[in-house]
């Protein structure tokens, strides 16, 4: 039996999926601040985190508007609990070593860039506009992360080993972002957002090319975790939110 | 004055050359990297610019401490942008130092071994959100006091770096004051956080200018070379005179019972910070010295494989290019 999906509800959901992924990844990247392996990386990481937080403001701002219950981007970011978050499991993975952080970024960027490109064609002008703006930023993110994955994969024995380990660890979290559920399908049919499975060919070809050049091998037949974009998360997200939301929760009457 | 107590180096060179060099400085000319300069001038500048660069880098840590807890998306973005600017300042300054013949890696190793210092202020903790406001308002405010005159410093690359840095620093200071306004005009708890931040950062901010140097021979040499433009006491006085009315506007109390306006001198009288505390912090005994150095050391050690990986890849690429030719 087909469930009837209410388009407004689906749109709110779809926007939270975009905005929560950028929020959670932006937060993870910002945890590196001042601790990167070289100064240029400190600057690049802060820059990426800044882009991702800026995109969050746009996606969640629009989500609040669509929902129409008076919640703004901050209310959505700081006052929802774990099960209400719709981010991909990949982006909530802890930073690990720099190789892990970088591989997570690349696997996400390789999805993010074609996804934004597809969203530029949305028949909702607000979505197309956000996607165009974010797309210009993400083109740089992808260029940088792909380049570093190649250089470190094909660097020293140690850097190769670290990048391969990162890939093995993160690979099982990549299936979710290329699989559509009924919310995705309803939004895609209405021409509002792109279905994740439509991104698969672009993602696979890009990732395949970069991993090849990096002399890295994707695990075959790995089990794929899922559930993040429906609100079932790993234990890690709760700890992140405890840190991120603490001030807002502790002093609910304050403005900042 | 991210550079404190920079000892200037004695110079033993041809008096005629020294006099000609001094004449250029007195005429307001800029000294450029490839031109002749006294060894003492070069060494003092390396020490001063290096210390300033290290301060920018270590200075990321107390503010970075609050990036993951910033209370709104906008505050998080502003703080990220600010910390990113600081890393950028570090980069310009290391580049300015490199023009004097010292590499960034050498300077980093000198920081990690404790041979070079960074500003004492970054050894104090950031304990509540208003501290992020206080750091912008007071710490960046104090830094600007020193850096604005340094835009006219005699060494070209340092002067040009300062011009860029000052633009960004004054923006940071305004952002810091903006946080303080929100906090001071907010709920009773927010106001208490703001007062607590001021109480803890006031004296360490005054220490940023360094102890009185009006009778110091080293300072006199640095001032003659226009590496240093004002005495520490002049800058401290200027800072207090600027900051007291701002605190009054916020409705906060400067933690100094002896603070009062002195009509005759046209400035405030104020209490000296506890200089024994300052010297302990410089020696490594401040509240966060160990954590700050540990964080920098860990970033450096953990990053070794990354840096080596990139170098190895670059070597492979250039070997492949040579083979193809």
pLDDT, position B23: 96
> Would you say residue A1 has pLDDT above 60?
no
Nearest to B302 among A37, A46, A78 (CB): A37
Q: In chain A, what is the straight-line distance between the N-terminal and C-terminal CA atoms, in Å?
A: 48
**In this prediction, what percent of chain A has a pLDDT beyond 90?**
97
Q: For A197-230, write each residue's pLDDT tens digit.
A: 999 999 999 999 999 999 999 999 899 999 999 9
Whole-angstrom Cα distance, residue B153 to residue B160?
Answer: 9
Interface touch A97/B64, C-beta < 8 Å: no
CATH number of A7-250: 1.20.1260.10
Q: From the CA atom positions of chain A, what is the Rg in Å?
A: 18
Structure tokens at B65: 């401490």
pLDDT, position B216: 79
Interface touch B309/A38, C-beta < 8 Å: no
User: Percentages helix, strand, coil for chain A, rounded to the nearest 5?
Assistant: 70, 0, 30
Query: Any CB–CB contact under 8 A between A248 and chain B?
Result: yes
Mean of all residue pLDDT scores within chain A: 97
Query: Up-side HSE of residue B288: CA atoms within 13 Å toward CB?
Result: 18
Mean of all residue pLDDT scores within chain B: 94
Domain residue extents for chain A: 7-250
Structure tokens at B174: 């305004």
> Would you say residue A37 has pLDDT above 50?
yes
- Give, in order, the Cα–Cα distances in Å from B59 to each of A94, A168, B119: 25, 36, 8
The residues, any chain, with a CB within 8 Å of residue B113's CB and separated by 6 or more, are none
Q: For A234-253, write each residue's pLDDT tens digit.
A: 999 999 999 999 999 999 99
Q: For B39-84, write each residue's pLDDT tens digit.
A: 999 999 999 999 999 999 999 999 999 999 999 999 999 999 999 9
Best mutation target, B81, B194, B309, to test chain A (most A CBs within 10 A): B309
Which chain A residues are within 8 Å of B190, Cβ to Cβ? 251, 254
According to DSSP, residue A178 is labeled G
ipTM of this complex prediction, to 2 decimal places: 0.96
Q: For A154-176, write each residue's pLDDT tens digit.
A: 999 999 999 999 999 999 999 99
Identify the three-state secondary structure at position B269. Answer: strand
The residues, any chain, with a CB within 8 Å of residue A150's CB and separated by 6 or more, are A210, A213, A214, B313
Which chain A residues are within 8 Å of B60, Cβ to Cβ? 33-34, 42
pLDDT, position B2: 73
**In this prediction, what percent of chain B has a pLDDT beyond 70?**
98
pLDDT, position B123: 98
Burial state string for A95-111 with b = 16 or more CB within 10 A and e = fewer than 16: ebbbbbbbbbbbbbbbb
Binding-face residues of A in 211-240 toward B, CB within 8 A: none
Q: Which residue has the higher pLDDT, A48 or B323?
A: A48
Query: Any CB–CB contact under 8 A between B294 and chain A?
Result: no
- pTM over the 0.80 mark: yes
For residues B132 and A256, the answer to whether their CB atoms sit within 8 Å is no
């Amino acid at each position: 039996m087909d469930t009837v999906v209410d388009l407004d509800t689906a749109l709110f959901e779809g926007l939270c999926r975009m905005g929560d992924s950028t929020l959670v990844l932006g937060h993870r990247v910002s945890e590196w601040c001042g601790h990167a392996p070289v100064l240029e990386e400190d600057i690049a990481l802060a820059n990426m985190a800044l882009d991702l937080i800026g995109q969050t403001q746009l996606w969640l701002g629009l989500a609040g508007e669509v929902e129409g219950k008076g919640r703004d981007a901050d209310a959505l970011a700081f006052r929802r609990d774990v099960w209400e978050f719709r981010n991909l499991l990949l982006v909530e993975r802890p930073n690990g070593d720099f190789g892990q952080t970088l591989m997570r970024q690349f696997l996400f960027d390789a999805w993010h860039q074609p996804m934004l490109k597809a969203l530029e064609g949305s028949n909702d002008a607000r979505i197309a506009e956000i996607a165009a703006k974010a797309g210009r930023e993400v083109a740089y993110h992808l260029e940088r992360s792909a380049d570093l994955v190649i250089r470190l994969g094909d660097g020293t024995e140690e850097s190769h080993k670290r990048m391969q380990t990162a890939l093995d660890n993160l690979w099982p979290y990549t299936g979710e972002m290329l699989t559509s559920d009924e919310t995705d399908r309803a939004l895609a049919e209405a021409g509002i957002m792109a279905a994740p499975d439509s991104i698969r060919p672009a993602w696979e070809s890009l990732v395949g090319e970069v991993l090849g050049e990096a002399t890295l091998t994707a695990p075959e037949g790995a089990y794929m975790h899922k559930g993040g974009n429906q609100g079932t998360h790993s234990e890690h997200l709760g700890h992140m939110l405890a840190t991120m939301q603490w001030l807002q929760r502790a002093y609910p009457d304050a403005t900042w | 004055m991210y550079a404190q107590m920079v000892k200037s180096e004695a110079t033993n060179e041809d008096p005629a050359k020294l006099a000609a060099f001094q004449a250029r400085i007195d005429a307001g000319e800029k000294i450029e990297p490839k031109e002749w300069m006294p060894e003492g001038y070069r060494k003092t500048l390396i020490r001063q610019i290096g210390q300033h660069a290290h301060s920018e880098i270590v200075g990321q840590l107390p503010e970075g401490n609050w990036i993951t807890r910033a209370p709104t998306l906008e505050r998080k973005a502003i703080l990220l942008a600010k910390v990113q600017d600081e890393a950028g300042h570090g980069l310009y300054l290391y580049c300015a130092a490199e023009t004097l013949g010292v590499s960034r890696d050498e300077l980093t190793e000198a920081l990690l071994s404790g041979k070079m210092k960074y500003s004492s202020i970054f050894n104090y903790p950031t304990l509540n959100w208003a501290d992020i406001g206080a750091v912008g308002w007071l710490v960046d405010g104090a830094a600007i006091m020193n850096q604005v005159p340094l835009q006219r410093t005699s060494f070209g690359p340092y002067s040009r770096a300062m011009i860029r840095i000052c633009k960004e620093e004054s923006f940071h200071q305004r952002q810091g004051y903006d946080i303080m306004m929100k906090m001071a005009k907010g709920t009773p708890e927010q106001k208490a956080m703001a007062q607590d931040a001021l109480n803890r950062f006031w004296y360490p901010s005054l220490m940023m200018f360094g102890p009185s140097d009006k009778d110091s021979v080293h300072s006199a040499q640095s001032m003659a070379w226009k590496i240093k433009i004002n005495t520490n006491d002049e800058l401290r006085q200027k800072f207090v005179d600027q900051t007291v009315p701002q605190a009054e506007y916020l409705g906060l109390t400067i933690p100094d019972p002896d603070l009062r306006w002195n009509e005759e001198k046209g400035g405030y009288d104020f209490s000296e910070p506890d200089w024994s505390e300052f010297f302990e912090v410089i020696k490594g005994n401040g509240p966060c010295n160990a954590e700050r150095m540990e964080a920098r050391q860990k970033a450096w050690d953990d990053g070794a494989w990354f840096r080596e990986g990139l170098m190895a890849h670059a070597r492979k690429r250039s070997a492949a290019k040579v083979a193809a030719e």
